Amino acid sequence: MRLLLPATALVALAACTPEPRYATVDTGGDVLDLRADWPDPPEGGFQVKTPTVRMPPGSDALKCFYGQWTGPDMGVVSHVPLHPLDFHHHSLIKDVPPADPHVPGDFIDCGGPDQSGGMPRAPLFHSVNIGQPQGDGSTIILPEGMAFRFPSGQLWSADVHYVNPTDQTVLVNNAFNIGLIPVDEVDTWVGSFEHDVGVLTIPPGGQHEEFFDCPVKAGSSVLSISSHMHSFGLRYVVDVIRADGRVENVLLVEEWLPEHRYDPPSVHFGPGQLIMEEGDKLRTTCVWFNPSDQEIGFPAEMCTTSGVATDIVEPIYCEAGEIVDRSR
């Protein structure tokens, strides 16, 4: 199912799209071709390449490209999304739950209201910027000896989203370079989590706040926490709510800036610095200001906390405080 946006939502998305961050090449015609020959993956790794995404003038594109890892069980130690920066919203490699009906090779419009074009799921890999960042996007830099599980048979979906507010048709393509190590070189497994507000409705003409709590596996060591809103955001807060009621702030963005949509604030912890205990939860609080006379919801706005922690075997997706069962 194609993601159909009302005109007001598309206008809001276009208004939130910054000026291109590098000079595009204007073909002088009706088509702006931003496709590229992306560099090869690291030695011993592999590359995911999406087909061409074609966006008519004044449209958005949210696409899912399905695939499967058919090699042996491995550990993932690096993940660099490659994409044109212009008009880009996100590029993620996501988990595919067993109940998802799509098969490797499918390239579909995803994110429909009935979820027929992609079920809720967490990215397989999230940013852990311990060290020097490499490339653009959600780059993994893990402490030595740590890796994400990448079992043989793992189904994945390359989830890419662009917004084209121009009067030209735009062509783009994506690649993901993924670095691998044998499982016998892994000392500690890590996994990703994504906590989302769920159904979002921001009333017109003023400030609006929502919060929700999601658990993180007891005994795990949180390595990173990142924020995500769009350009109507005012404030973003993530607290650890301990089982005994204590509140520990771990991420605070007092003033959410429009550029944070593409460069979201995040925090990073060394192993053992932030341990989750039985009954602890992460609380996300988002505050927006809606200056319009209409309601705003997804995709014009979001509230999503993502992160990485040790001892997570499968990616965890939590929506509005409830862990979503991968098998449903």
Give pLDDT, residue 263.
77
Residue 279 zone, left/alpha/beta (φ > 0; ψ -120 to 50; rest): left
pLDDT tens, 64-113? Answer: 999 999 999 999 998 888 888 788 888 889 988 887 888 999 999 886 54
Angle (CA) 241 317 308, round 5° = 65
Mean pLDDT of 46-54: 94
Mean pLDDT score of the chain: 84
Mean pLDDT of 272-282: 96
Considering the domain boundaries, does residue 2 fall inside one? no
pLDDT tens, 212-232? Answer: 999 999 999 999 999 999 889
Cis peptide before 299 (omega within 30 of 0): yes
Q: Are 296 and 208 in contact (CB under 8 A)?
A: no
pLDDT over 50 at 8, yes or no:
no
Q: Percent of the chain beyond pLDDT 70? A: 83
Listed residues 169, 186, 203: the one ending a domain: 186
pLDDT over 70 at 4, yes or no:
no
Give pLDDT, residue 118.
55
In sequence order, which residues have a C-beta less than 8 Å from that of residue 262 and are 6 or more positions away?
18, 88
Mean pLDDT of 197-221: 95
Q: What's the half-sphere exposure (Cβ side, CA atoms, 13 Å) at 140?
A: 29
Give pLDDT, residue 91.
86
Q: Are 72 and 153 in contact (CB under 8 A)?
A: no
Considering the domain boundaries, does residue 35 fall inside one? yes
pLDDT over 90 at 1, yes or no:
no
Considering the domain boundaries, does residue 328 fall inside one? no
pTM of the predicted structure, to 2 decimals: 0.82
Listed residue (75, 42, 79) closest to 187, CA to CA:
75
CATH assignment at residue 246:
2.60.120.230
Listed residues 186, 203, 227: the one ending a domain: 186
d(CA 191, CA 157): 17
Listed residues 186, 212, 237: the one ending a domain: 186
pLDDT tens, 99-148? Answer: 788 899 999 988 654 444 455 678 898 765 544 444 445 567 788 899 99
d(CA 290, CA 295): 8
Give pLDDT, residue 216.
94
CATH assignment at residue 102:
2.60.120
Residue 104: give the domain boundaries: 7-186
Mean pLDDT of 3-10: 33
